[in-house]
A = this chain, B = another copy of it.
Amino acid sequence: MRSSSPEQSRRKRVADAKTAILQAATRLFAERGYDITTTRMIAREAGVAEGTIYLYFPSKRHILLSLIRQASVPVVTSQLADTEGQSDESVLRVLFTERIRFGREYAPLLKTLLSEAMHDADLAQQLLQEVIQPLSALVKEYIEKRIEEGVFREAPADIAARVLVGMFWFTIVYDHLLACDPAAKAEVLGSYTPEEYAQWFANLVLGGIAR
């Protein structure tokens, strides 16, 4: 036990530095964007020297790519994982309330990745494969199960999944935009609590807009 201690402490320090860099990068990329964020800023924010970054990542861009893996895990093990016994309305409400473990924590990361993927084909491909499609697949399975159970009506599960996932993503983006314009935020969200919002979302998705 004592013999493994130095090795453990090294590994701990290593993990610390790498984690600090990733956290700093996530924060800065989200706030200011990938291109504007400099390696110097990341280093300062992470509390390490600039050169240290390059012990753990071969280039600035590899930090960005690493963030995808950070996002893919929580997305895939999302709250859709075990919904046994919950009502659909409750499941959807939770998905859009996006407060539990997800929104607050991962929205900045997802926002960054989505934004950068707009002009980086590699990133787009990875984001699609490792984050968006796994989530779509989960949603699709959920819908298929419900169709089989006769609760949802016969419609293409993949298209329905796309509708839902689309709304989920847009919620992240739209919330961000609103955060930049307090007046608009008040006007748009003013009269509803987030829970009411989520409730209506779920209601509309389930029941449709038409009478």
Given contacts A155-B200, A155-B203, contact A162 B174 (CB under 8 A): yes
Classify the interface of chain A: helix, strand, loop or mixed: helix
Q: Which of B115, B150, B162, B170 contacts A119 (CB 8 A)?
A: B115
The segment from A13-21, A28-36, A41-49, A77-85 found at the interface with B is A28-36
- Cβ–Cβ < 8 Å partners of A165 in chain B: 170
A1 at the interface (CB under 8 A from B): no
Q: Which of B115, B116, B205, B211 contacts A151 (CB 8 A)?
A: B211
- How far in angstroms is the closest Cβ of chain B from A126? 9
- Cβ–Cβ < 8 Å partners of A178 in chain B: 128
Residues 150 to 187 of chain A near chain B (Cβ within 8 Å): 150-153, 155-156, 158-160, 162-163, 165-167, 169-171, 173-174, 176-178, 180-181, 184
Chain A residues with a Cβ under 8 A of chain B: 30-33, 35-36, 88, 111-112, 114-122, 124-125, 127-129, 132-133, 143, 150-153, 155-156, 158-160, 162-163, 165-167, 169-171, 173-174, 176-178, 180-181, 184, 188, 192, 197, 200-201, 203-211
A-B contact pairs, 21 of them (CB 8 A): A33-B118, A33-B119, A111-B118, A114-B118, A117-B177, A122-B180, A124-B177, A128-B181, A132-B177, A150-B211, A153-B207, A153-B210, A155-B203, A162-B174, A163-B204, A163-B209, A166-B167, A167-B167, A167-B170, A206-B210, A208-B208
